[in-house]
Amino acid sequence: MKDWNTTVEPSNFMPRASSKNASPSGNSRGSMTTTPTRSSSYGASPMSSPESQSYGAMASLEKLSKMVSEFVMSNFSEVLEQERAKHEERYHLKIDEMAAMQELIDELNGKVDDLTNMVKRLEDDKSDLERDVHAKEKEITRLEAESDSMKAFMKQTDITSPGGLSVASSTQYSPGVSSQTKLQKAIAKMIKEAKAEEKREIDALNQKNDKLRIEKANLEDKIEGLKREKDNLSDEIERMRMYAESLEQFGNQILDVAGQICGSNAAEWEQNDAEGKRDDPDDELSESDSEE
């Protein structure tokens, strides 16, 4: 019988048949026919099948998708953190500006109180001056009445005036005429000087009163200006407070969106891990090789 082992080369995965393993009954022929079958089954890679290639491509795409998602999320998280830090810094700056403005408002309130007290003191001084002026006017009235009374008395005692004191003889010389006239002139001069002095004092008091009135008006204008400045600062503080609240809300919205995105991706990855999906095609290939 022909020895098949001498004419047919076996597969690389099968040991070369020896002459003692040949069977005269034809088993050697069976060995020759089964060798190509084993070679075709075990020598080829399992990835050569369409199902294996499709599974490997899907695993590669899934791994690539996960890598892209992680890259986007890492960069997006960094951008969100920078944006949040920027808004937080602006928020703190606005808070500091509000505190500085509040201090300025407190200072303006103190100035307004001081000016109000000054106006009150000026009003008290004005009232005192008005009382002094009224007293001086009463004094002038009294002096004028005394002057009129003195004039009437001097007129009655004047021997030269009609209706005055009579004389014994028209030729009799009276030495008191000259002294009486001098006395009358001296009294009139004293009254005139007293009235002039009182008038000068009244004029001085009126000037001081006018000066106080002007100072009071200036202080009232200054108080009104401070009040307007205070109101403007209060409005600015209110606007800054609303802006700070909007910044805080915007920062919270950014954090909420970031949390939702990260939470959804984390849930998806946990679900994939729970379902036992493989994302690494290299791991799949290594497992296929190990099974082979």
Closest CA to 55 of 292, 290, 287: 287
Q: How many other β-carbons are positioned within 10 Å of the β-carbon of residue 70?
A: 12
Cβ–Cβ under 8 Å, residues 141 and 198: no
Tokens 């047919």, residue located: 8
Question: CA-to-CA distance for 148 and 139, rounded, in angstroms?
Answer: 14
Q: Say what the pLDDT of residue 278 is.
A: 45
Cβ–Cβ under 8 Å, residues 205 and 133: yes
Q: Say what the pLDDT of residue 36 is.
A: 44
Structure tokens at 104: 């300025």
Q: Helix or strand or coil: residue 287?
A: helix
Q: Say what the pLDDT of residue 276 is.
A: 59
Question: CA-to-CA distance for 188 and 148, rounded, in angstroms?
Answer: 10
Say which amino acid occupies 74. Answer: S
Q: How many other β-carbons are positioned within 10 Å of the β-carbon of residue 62?
A: 16
- Using 70 as the pLDDT threshold, list the residues of the chain that sit under it: 1-55, 72-75, 77, 150-151, 153-180, 258-259, 261-292
The structure's pTM equals 0.37
Q: Say what the pLDDT of residue 195 is.
A: 77
Helices 176-275 and 50-157 cross at an angle (nearest 10°) of 170
Q: What are the CB-based long-range contacts (under 8 Å, 24+) for 78-83?
A: 80/254, 80/255, 80/257, 80/258, 83/254
Cβ–Cβ under 8 Å, residues 165 and 159: yes
Cβ–Cβ under 8 Å, residues 123 and 216: yes
Q: Say what the pLDDT of residue 28 is.
A: 43
Q: Say what the pLDDT of residue 181 is.
A: 73
Cβ–Cβ under 8 Å, residues 112 and 227: yes
Q: Say what the pLDDT of residue 149 is.
A: 73
Cβ–Cβ under 8 Å, residues 133 and 209: yes
Residue 266 half-sphere exposure toward CB, CA atoms < 13 A: 7
Closest CA to 132 of 206, 200, 191, 196: 206
